[in-house]
Each structure stands twice: as C-alpha cells, then as structure tokens.
Chains A and B, each alone.
Chain A
C-alpha cells in the first residue's frame, strides 16, 4: 500500500492546487467586476443561451460503446501477465473473446453508429 501514497499525495496536491492558485491570483489581480467580465468565456465568442443544452443522442451511444470496450480492456490485464504460462491456448482464448466483441463492434459500424452524420 505504501506505493499508493504517491497517488494519495497526487490527489491532495490536486485538491490544493485550485484554491492555492486562485488565492495567489487574487493577490495580483485588480478587483472590480462587471456583468461582461462574469460571463462565460468561450474563446472570445459571445455566449448564446444557457450552458445546458440538449446534446445529440449519438454521444450517448458512443459512450456506451466505450464502456463495453473498457470492460473488455480490463480483462486484458490478468491475461497479459499470465500469457507466457498460458501459451498458445491462452492466446487462442483471448482471440475468441475479442472476436465475439468485435462482432458487436462491426454491427455498430454497419449501423453507422460510429459514423458522424
């Protein structure tokens, strides 16, 4: 667990970074504000409407594809460290596993989920 203290340190540093930089900036910046200054910044373009707009459902489908492929990727780790011992059998097994999922991916591709319209 000791090696994970670096992760803990990283999280704490990340949590402290935001308030620290904001306070540091407060020391140097001029105060005083206007409605225009408080507006959302979007590369200098005037913001239109509200931030919460309805997105295209295709995003959601892509995210679902990502979940499936992510779960599949997690199973690669125990396989990869054990590959030498498993030999050809393990390699074949993983190809069956991946092959089945690739069928789904090809199906999604054929249904033009990945394509942007």
Chain B
C-alpha cells in the first residue's frame, strides 16, 4: 500500500465519520461543526490527488466562508427551532425507511459506476499532475481567460444576483422598511 493510499484511507474515514456525525448529532451546532470537519477532509482529498488549487479554494470558500454561514445560520435560529436535535430523529418511521432505502440504492449505484469507470493513468502515483503543480494554476488561468471567458464573466453576474437576492430576501424578512 502506497503512502497516498494510506493517507486517502485515513482522510476518507474522517469524512465518513464526520458526515455521520453531522447527520446524527443531537445538537445542531455540533452537526454544523461536523460538516466543517467534512469540508476540511475533502480539501485533504483534493491535496492528495494533486489538485492543490482546488484544495486551497476549498479551504478559502468552504472552511472560510460557508462554515461561517452555517454557524451564523445556527446562531440565528431560536431555541424552539432546534429543540429535540436533528429532524432526522423526529421523522416518521416510513420516512426513515425510505431515506435508508434511497441511501442504499445510491450507494450501490455509486459502486456500480466506479467499478465500470476506467480511469486514465494520471493519478498522483505516476504524477504528471504533481510535477506540473507549479504550472497548473497558470494553466487554469489560461483556460479561464482564453477558452472560457464568457462563463467567467457570467459567474460575476451570478455572484451579483446572489448578492442582490440575499439582500432583498433578508431585508424583507427581518424588518420591512
């Protein structure tokens, strides 16, 4: 077993455990913090497969910003909204059964899909990607500004929409002026 595989197994175990913690945590704040652990470990997966920029982006956006939003969302909710722990614990039994069935079917589909997948030999083991890691950001910039210029600009429009939408919705709900 190579070092990458060992690291992957450790990180994957952390992801699975933290995800289960997020689902089953009694207090919603603990669920949010478990989600932050999942975000962090997923960033570790990106670093293991050699996409360092994605790993940094994961840390910046998910751990930096999305985690903040999650925690603030929990702090916004009042005592009565979160009493009794995760809503999963309060579901009717048939809903629980349905959820588990969907989960198992999804898992089987994922396995089926991954088994049929033929991966091009460009993993970290034979590492053309890792060798290029210093230039891959450069490559990304080139792609972004030559081949995908329009999508890039559309992203800014999307971000603008998010900003204005958030302001409009939150203003309306908190205090109508």
Contacts and interface: CB of A to CB of B under 8 A. Distances in A.
Interface of A: 1, 4, 7-8, 50, 52, 54-55, 57-61, 63-68, 70-75, 77-82, 85-86, 89-90, 93, 96-98, 100-101, 103-105, 107-108, 111, 113
Contacts of B76: 54-55, 57, 59-60
Contacts of B171: 111, 113
Interface string B35-48: 00000000000011
26 contacts: A4-B47, A7-B47, A52-B79, A54-B77, A57-B76, A59-B75, A60-B72, A63-B69, A64-B69, A64-B166, A66-B68, A74-B60, A78-B140, A79-B141, A79-B144, A79-B145, A80-B141, A82-B145, A89-B145, A90-B145, A93-B145, A93-B153, A97-B156, A100-B159, A108-B163, A108-B164
B130 A1 contact: yes
B174 interface: yes
Contacts of A97: 152-153, 155-156
B87 interface: no
**SS class, residues of chain A in contact with chain B:** helix
